[in-house]
Structure 1
Amino acid sequence: MDDSVYVGNAGRDAVLDQGWLLGHFKDAGDPRHSEAVEIKWGVHPRGDARARWVRGEQRTALLILISGRFRVELPGRTLLLEQQGDYVVWGRGVDHSWYAEEESVVLTVRWPSVAGYAVADGV
């Protein structure tokens, strides 16, 4: 087996690291280690919500709805992702929160992967 290749399943692997599949937090020898980008497979039951808003975000983010109905809260605006493939991008410094209106799966891509940066509730 080539150590520079990793084959997995997002649903199974996501439960091992709060949904995160790729980023600086993976071991340096793991092909999923990246200082450039973070990728998360988020599975959220209906009613799941962030414990509190993310403030002072240091990364740009892309969130894509895979299934369900997912609300993203940004300052002064609420966005509803309701069709597969709906997505939102926000830049550095944009505070945000979210709420799963239905059981939802979302793919999140954030960049850069900032070492030492974490939100208290782990999301």
Structure 2
Amino acid sequence: MSSGVYVGNAYKDAPEEHGWLLGHFRTPGDLRHSRDVEIKWGVHPRGERRAAWVTGEERTALLVLISGRFRMEFRDHSVVLERQGDYVVWGRGVDHSWTAEDDSVVMTVRWPSISGYRAPDHL
């Protein structure tokens, strides 16, 4: 990092925080520290699923499919993202989970950045 600029690589940096590149959990003073927004680079092999449902969500989220086929599950329906650029947005209080139907890369943006639910390791 130099002169207020950080250059990184999502595949290299993401594992440091379970995929999260930017958010409140980064060290204050790091340009990637933010209480306004969180950004995640998720790399998921086929068949991987979230270990537990997210309940009581306090943030709004956007998930964009970069590659693969990815299913977002909500209590009353599911959405399959299958074309690069497909995305889904859900609001506060919406319970959700997910499954990678093919090897998938997704980018998630959540706001605001607050301490929240963290699932155990994936199944």
TM-score range, shorter chain: over 0.9
Instruction: Give the deviation of 1:19 after TM superposition.
Output: 0.4
| Runs of 5+ consecutive residues of structure 2 not aligned to the other structure | none
Name the SS of the counterpart of 1:16 in structure 2. Answer: helix
Paired amino acid for 2:33 = H
Tell me if structure 2 keeps the 8 A contact 1:18–1:122: no
Aligned mates of 1:15, 1:119 — CA distance in 2 = 15
User: Structure 1 residues 122 and 60, CA, compared in 2 at 3 Å: closer, same or farther?
Assistant: farther
Instruction: Give the deviation of 1:122 after TM superposition.
Output: 6.6
User: Structure 1 residues 60 and 122, CA, compared in 2 at 3 Å: closer, same or farther?
Assistant: farther
Aligned mates of 2:94, 2:117 — CA distance in 1 = 16
Give the structure-1-normalised TM-score: 0.94
Residue matched to 2:109:
109
Tell me if structure 1 keeps the 8 A contact 2:69–2:101: yes
Residue matched to 1:49:
49
Tell me if structure 1 keeps the 8 A contact 2:65–2:84: yes
Paired amino acid for 1:12 = K
User: Structure 1 residues 21 and 122, CA, compared in 2 at 3 Å: closer, same or farther?
Assistant: farther
CA deviations on 1:14-38 (whole Å, 9 max, x unpaired) are: 1221100000000101000000000
Aligned residues: 122
Aligned mates of 2:120, 2:3 — CA distance in 1 = 32
Name the SS of the counterpart of 2:109 in structure 1. Answer: strand
Aligned mates of 1:30, 1:6 — CA distance in 2 = 9
Give the structure-2-normalised TM-score: 0.94
How big is the alpha-carbon RMSD for the aligned residues of Structure 1 and Structure 2? 1.4
Aligned mates of 2:110, 2:43 — CA distance in 1 = 17
